[in-house]
Structure 1
Amino acid sequence: MTMDGQDAGAGAVGPSVEAIFREERGRLLAALVRRFGDLDLAEEVASEAIEAALVHWPATGVPPKPGAWLMTTARRRAVDRLRRDRTYAARLAVLQVEADRAGPAPAADTDSELPDERLQLFFTCAHPALPAEDRVALTLRCLAGLTTPEVARAFLLPTATMAKRIVRAKKKIREARIPFRVPGADELPERLPGVLQVIYSIFTEGYAASSGPDLQRLELAEEAIRLARILRRLLPGEREVAGLLGLMLLVHARREARIGRDGELVLLDDQDRGRWDRSMIEEGQGLVIVALTGGPPGLYGVQAAIAALHDEAATVATTDWPQIVALYDVLLALAPSPVIALNRAVAVAMRDGPEAGLALLDELAGEQRLHGYHPYATARADLLQRLGRHREAAAAYREALTTAGTEPERAHLRRRLRECDPDAPPAGLEGPAHRP
């Protein structure tokens, strides 16, 4: 049974049990990897432990310490597996001897130790022997608990391509005999960018879920913020850590206003800004100053500055769009990306009018990574609608509907489609959503 499949099984038991599995899975897998030093074994026995819980807990009730129950069950399954498979046990023993021969990780100061097992494994999987994107993909899938389609969305790749990438990374770990050990303090800076990317990808899936009945998965967003707070305490001199934490706080501050009374999507233009979390915004603004002071701007610091400009404005109309466009120019120089170019085009539309923004979007039409990325089709549809080109806007909304993953997004697109085409099918009659 795959970890992707467990989500469906857990839902059959009940939402509270599903929440336990979400909360405990990362800790369980991290502890098992540290104990046995083998990711495949850890995934298999973690799956078996959750399967056992799905059988026993409905009859006996959820135990007082569900994490301990899962850990005990998984460890027993691992020991049984190693007793049955002597060849597998011998291979793990060789890996342990090689790790011991290499010596322990350099001792870290008490203040720089990683107190969270998942964060320890995030840094462990950010090993320089793996290609950078493979490190991030592996960590998101295996340790952060995102499904393969969710990881694929983070990279704007087809699910099948991402699945192959994850398999390749795990094979590389086995063949290169990369030890699962916490890196020393001197190794952390080299691995930090990958870990920050993982944390931000977790937050992004929480802020804008890739599928399901809900627009947001708040537990993921809050877990990402918690991990970033730990990093901020451990690495106070790293400006990009401050930038990432600030960015997430400034965006998460709007969470309550993004959802209407009936769970519908509320766009930035229509949000009640009085519902934004002002204490979170103030904390984020302070972190932006830290992130942009004392050296060249970083990827997360610039994004945090953009988020701060949105949060500071009283309305969409009074937002400092020229400054936001200038910051997107900086961001494109730091990390050229079609998604950043898409966001810049939307900002240009707010600064110079929809025709200017649409021209930029049309220039991105050949970007393969934006095919199937519904925010691109949605942005085009919105600008076309604002220009009165309703037939073209309706076609773009229909395109966006084929890939929008959550029901609130789809309901919003259906409403906009009917504004452009009153004869469009009523809610629920379009084809099912799919992701590339």
Structure 2
Amino acid sequence: MVKRLLPGGATRNLRRSLSRRQPLQRYWLIGTTAIALSVMVATPLRAATTTKIAGFFGLPIPNLPIPGGSVEDLLKGAVVDQAVKALGSTLKDDAPIESSSQATFPTVNQLPGTAFKPKAMPTTLMAQLRNATDGAVALQPGDYRIPVNVFCMKVSAHSPAGHRYLLAPLKGKWADIIVALNARSAGTTIPHPQLQVLSWNLQAGMKYEELATEQRAIVDQLLPDYKPRLSRSFYEQIESTWSQLSGTVPGLPSMDSALGRLGDVGSAIVTLRQTRDTLLRYGNNFEALSNALVLPGQANTPSDGANTPWSQISPRVYARLMTKGTYADPGELQIRVTVEAPVGLRDRHLVATTDLAGLNLAGLDLAAMPVKVPLAGLVGDPQDSSVQPLSMSPKPEDKDEDESGSGSLQIQERGFSGPQPPAPLNQV
């Protein structure tokens, strides 16, 4: 069919160009809804096939066939192919938060050494965390129990009580902003529901001007150094990609009219837009947003949080998130910092950030040095696409925080004083 439509040389060039392209596959969160997307940017000339992949949406993802019948149909197929490739790249590279399901730390069922006997939370922990540049704190060897507020990191998912979570690093284009929010809000009197609403907005890539007044106040107070990056939304980046494509493809329709032809890429953009509409509609109303964004009921797969294994997040650090409640209830981060790393792991991890050559180490016990633990940069992954992942922020032990969702923004006496350079301690 193609040979009858195009000259032989053009046919060979088209076939060669299409055959060179390869599929891209990546997991990410779209509008705080996770999706695993395999973008077939082009295929060789062949009959259409459909491949089922394990993704959060669980949608069949077709290989894009080259239509036959006319030159016009062939050009339409090429345009769709080009649009999927361009928008898929933007979704992959610029997603504010990526899925954590494939990035969990290795786990062990039992801790090395003696039984877990936690110390009291270090008195300096809150101040360390609020002034950290990376959401990490330095902990001496020992066992720790740290109360945490947890935050929903996905919409259209359940939040069952007492679920089992595995720890993973928080990743994505705006992950560092959310890490900073979780770190700098630790120990403040900002109500948990207001922090959750701001987190939802950041996960959806909302820009500063789109935030409700209460959310902008938190950004002004805690995240002033990130405001320049909040000047453009994730959705605007997607629109910009389409505009650039329109400049190179004559007659390209509007993005709105084309989304239905773009498969899972189009579905992801529609989901993002729906999430944005919900956030803009309800503003700072946590109850309304919670009803709209969090599914009631239980997970698809039962899970026993009491049997949560320990995640080894660095050679000397083990941790696990324990919770009997939902995303709206406090949990507990249990941590063990060991004195010496297992021999088999030493060569596979960066242990120190300081060059020790030339230093006088006489009498210095390197094994007992503090280790950096990324408290605000961890996320509990449920290993179940129907359940929300949970990020976390330490909370005070000695008093209950105001969880009402009302009240003014107040920072306690030792509040955020601006990012400070990290100490050259052992690095996770």
TM-score category (smaller protein): under 0.3
TM-score, normalised by the number of residues in structure 2: 0.25
With CA pairs under 8 Å and 6+ residues apart, which has the higher RCO, 1 or 2?
2
Query: As a proportion of its length, which structure holds more helix?
Result: 1
TM-score, normalised by the number of residues in structure 1: 0.25
Please identify the structure whose Cα radius of gyration is greater: 2
Query: As a proportion of its length, which structure holds more strand?
Result: 2
